Amino acid sequence: MLYAYAVLATLTAFVGTAHADSIYCNATNSCPEDAPCCNQFGECGTGSYCLGGCHPLYSYDIDACMPMPVCKNISTTFDDKDSIMSVNHYLGDPDDADWVYSGYLEDYNDANLLAMPNHTSGTVVSSTRFLWYGKVTSTFKTSRGNGVISAFILFSNAQDEIDWEFVGYNLTAAESNYYYQAVLNYTNVETIGTTDTFANYHTYEVDWKEDELKWSLDGEVVRTIKKEDTWNDTTESYHYPQTPSRVQFSLWPAGDSNSIGTMEWAGGQVDWDSEDIKDYGYYYFILKNASIECYDPPSGTLINGDNAYVFNSSSNFDQDAVMITDNSTVLCDSDSTGLDNDEDECDASSSTESDSSSDSDTSTTTKSKTSTKTTSGDDESTTTTSRKKSSKSTSTVNSAQVTQFFQNSEQTTTGSTNLALAVSAAPILSIVTIFLSLIFCV
């Protein structure tokens, strides 16, 4: 399933009324100069819209999108939700956090729980750095139920995509899939049989090389494709994922806003009166760990630094258009874009603001860093994130607006959303809450 378009359809169902003035971007409609960045879900804006997921072709200008943080080996044990930063607070510095999220996140034993309360559009967790070929491994349990989708994907700004996806009505199947720049090709999907993905932890892996792509399940390679077999005579190009991508985990619903094909694939409408909704108030996906191993960039890559990936063409978004530079990946504030993000002014503003408010909380309008409490392993390029939970449990979830992954952080609140409150208010108040948050927070 093409992740971005399916989720966009879901988001539009919630956003449409409150966002009548939203500007959408696609292959035939680029963003305007005053909202130059086209985000992952096809909306134009500034600030966070210009970070991960910013589409260079659909944006006003290729330089509106911020450079993409280069890959770094990491190994994360998801045993503390506080190790994942809300997108409300993220301005593009990957040293602030390895992962960001939007939606509802909760601690669960030695894992994190991605929740989808009654009549919400779920949760997304994303890496802050981009992977340009490498190996990603993760252990998790999927959700369940008709219309409920769990996903582990690699997704690039140019909309290359590599998927492990799971439809909740068939818990003994794992779907592998891939896309080149959002080109639909229904022959790319292949289903792999397994044991119950809701009841059992499984370990899934994507091994992505320049010339070959492998999917593994519980340590066994279950599918391999070669780049040479993806040549397309019409476009005279390889329809093979080949551009820097973020790692994402998500839980989202199929619904009326999606196409008939999407709903059929997902098993129909979500049952908001299901066993999990009755017992807990939400559907859930349990994420235990993830590791990212970076491979060397392709031979011949233009390298003028080691901090960020950028596209050096405004018309070609294949592998040969990617270069590595020392360009900054950090926005000055939530109104900035790649077109007006002056690094000197940014540093001066950050320094002044930090001096005048040293006792205040980290602001979304500065580039002051929050502590990620990481420890270095034997390899200096590896960061291990494994935080022990406090003995005092909490159900408070710092949440970005659940109906959009990246958004303008100045226009969103930095408060917290209580999962228990969301559950107790559902189903009567859930839709009202979403629309109020859209009106006043976005």
Backbone angles phi, psi at 350, to 5 degrees: -65, -45
pLDDT of residue 422: 65
Considering only CA atoms, which of 3, 8, 10, 9 is closest in space to residue 38? Answer: 8
Per-residue 3-state assignment (H helix, E strand, C coil) for the chain? CCHHHHHHHHHHHHHHHHCCCCCECECCECCCCCCCEECCCCEEECHHHHCCCCCCCCCCCHHHCCCEECCCEEEEECCCHHHCEEHHHCCCCCCCCCEEEECEEEEECCEEEEEEECCCCCEEEEECCCECCEEEEEEEECCCCCCEEEEEEEEECCCCEEEEEEECCCCCEEEEEEECCCCCCHHHCEEEECCCCCCCCEEEEEEECCCEEEEEECCEEEEEEEHHHHEECCCCEECCCCCCEEEEEEEEECCCCCCHHHHHHHCCCCCCCCHHHHHHCEEEEEEEEEEEEECCCCCCCCEECCCEEEECCCCCCCHHHEEEECCCCCCCCCCCCCCCCCHHHHHHHHHHHHHHCCCCCCCCCCCCCCCCCCEECCCCCEEEEECCCCCCCCCEECCCCCCCCCCCHHHCCCCCEEHHHHHHHCCCCHHHHHHHHHHHHC
pLDDT above 90 covers a percentage of the chain that reads: 68
Is 305 a residue whose pLDDT tops 80? yes
The pLDDT value recorded for residue 2 is 57
Cα–Cα dist 30/38, whole Å? 8
Q: Which residue has the tokens 């044991």?
A: 195
Beta pairing, strands 44-45 & 37-38: antiparallel
Provide the 10 A C-beta neighbour count for residue 238: 17
Collect all residues with Cβ–Cβ distance below 8 Å to 326 and sequence separation of at least 6.
304, 305, 306, 307, 308
CATH number of 1-355+363-442: 2.60.120.200
Q: Which two tokens stand for residue 258?
A: 């999606």
**Residue 365 and residue 89 in contact, taking contact as beta carbons nearer than 8 Å:** no
13-20 average pLDDT score: 35
Q: Which of 87-91, 131-135, 220-224 has the lowest mean pLDDT?
A: 87-91
Q: What is the pTM of this model?
A: 0.80
Average pLDDT over residues 354-380: 35
Kindly tell me the sign of the dihedral angle through the C-alpha atoms of 101, 348, 45, 434: positive
Model confidence at 259: pLDDT above 50 = yes
Token pair recorded at residue 376: 């270095």
Helix 430-441 to helix 3-18 angle (10° resolution) is 80
Q: Which position has the higher pLDDT, 8 or 159?
A: 159
- What tens digit of pLDDT does each residue of 28-74 get? 999 999 999 999 989 999 999 999 999 999 999 999 999 999 999 99
The length of the chain in residues reads 442
The pLDDT value given to residue 1: 59
138-165: pLDDT as tens digits: 999 999 999 999 999 999 999 999 999 9
Instruction: Point out the residues that are catalytic.
Output: 161, 165
Dump pLDDT digits (tens) for 312-360. Answer: 998 899 999 999 999 999 999 999 999 998 766 676 555 434 444 334 3
pLDDT at 311 over 90: yes
Q: Which residue has the higher pLDDT, 362 or 64?
A: 64
Which has more confidence, 209 or 315?
209
